[in-house]
Amino acid sequence: MSMQSQFSSTRIVTGAGIAYSVGSEAKAVGMTTVLLLIDPFLAETPAGTAIAAALTAHGLNVVRSTAVEPDPSALTIEALSSWAAQQHIDGIVAVGGGSAIDTAKAVGLLLAHNVPHIAPFYHGGSTTPARMLPLIAIPTTAGTGSEVTFVAVVTEPSTQRKLLIRHPVLTPVVALVDPDLCASMPAALTMATGMDALAHSLECLTSTMSSPMSDTLAITAIRTIVVALPRLIKNGHNPTDRAAMSGAATMAGMAFLSGRLHLGHAVGHALGGAYHVAHGPACVVMMPEIMATVAPARTGAIAQIAGAFGCRAADLPAAIKRFLIDCGAPNLRTLLAPHHPSPTELITLFRGEERLINLSPVVPTDAQWESMIQAAW
Ligand code: NAD
């Protein structure tokens, strides 16, 4: 059982329209000049304009940037930080998906330390993060949970690997979880981001670090996702399902902070870094096989998850596979097209994610990896 008890020290405020209270929230945490880091898509929407107006209406100076790219690279983060260092900001408001929020965390870290390079802060690196500028996170996708986690995922251009910065100072002070901001997501993005939340919940329930609290959050998220996600993919305008998915994604984020992740994200990070495929689908692409592999070591968790999927424990891998197909998630071959890596190449990539793999209750042998790859192909 985990010795780590942190779930979130973020103040979470949730509800339709809550994003527009950002001005009073920013004032309340002492911000005066704010970097509004906003995803380029959201920046062009009425919601983006209204969030900027809500900040200026409270007398805050706003410096705006849309320098957010999917799977943010260290180079982009460092360029943004060097520009922001000239703007005398004392807080950041991030509006967007995990990429915007993680960019904000990394920039807030560089500015607070007054250094140009992010690499020393990578998990296991030479510098331990000590501080970050205060961050208000406003998620516009329902998947990563980054609004409550103390993790930032950065793509390192020299190796094309997705690397983690992981330290409690990266925790946002406030998360404004407003499901209305997710309503503009097309079905494919709803699916892709929802899959990330599903992966978080399934992995942390079955990891070696799970605990009663993370289990409770994760199983609640799974029960919600199983019902709401397929409906939302078919009809993105259902506010009840949008609210359910936003809540599930934030709960799954709180759960995996403590319960941690393992093989699904090892696969997801390896494929995302090497082939730039969408994060959520990459994390679940081998999930039926992963659940089958860990089942003997985590029978209680597997039984609980099977209950959420409405099947017997022995049928869980097949039920998850059916769920992925129903939601339109790609299989491994489709996800990687036009690339056609050999199992050996994939296993080598996966093995690079040792830190995540070691949190799995079963560490697959090469033979197990190979048969999992074949089944998922
Ligand atoms: P994203 O932030 O990369 O955004 C994906 C695309 O969706 C972008 O093109 C963006 O413009 C668009 N978009 C965002 N919100 C939209 C909306 N409401 N309507 C229409 N389009 C919208 O996607 P994401 O899945 O939220 O984030 C993925 C990143 O988060 C990855 O880098 C992943 O590794 C990271 N991540 C971080 C954590 C963490 O705890 N920090 C956890 C999981 C994943």
Identify the structural domains of the chain with CATH numbers, from first to last: 2-181 (3.40.50.1970), 185-376 (1.20.1090.10)
Closest by Cα among 164, 90, 73, 97 to 131: 90
Q: Is 153 in the pocket of ligand 1 (CB under 6 A)?
A: yes
Q: Is 77 in the pocket of ligand 1 (CB under 6 A)?
A: no
Low-confidence ranges of the chain (pLDDT < 70): 1-5
Bond from prior residue into 361 cis (ω within 30 degrees of 0)? no
> CA–CA distance from 316 to each of 1, 18, 76, 288 (Å)?
24, 37, 41, 8
Shortest-distance atom of ligand 1 to CA 184 = 19
pLDDT for 161 equals 85
Q: How far apart are the first and last CA of the chain?
A: 34
pLDDT for 4 equals 54
User: What is the whole-number distance in angstroms between the Cα of residue 141 and the centre of ligand 1?
Assistant: 6
Q: Is the dihedral of CA 94, 97, 98, 100 positive or negative?
A: negative
Closest by Cα among 63, 49, 59, 64 to 19: 49
Mutate to test the pocket of ligand 1, among 153, 156, 251, 261 (most ligand atoms within 8 A of CB): 153
- Measure CA 179 to chain center: 16
For the whole model, what pTM was predicted? 0.96
User: What is the whole-number distance in angstroms between the Cα of residue 72 and the centre of ligand 1?
Assistant: 10
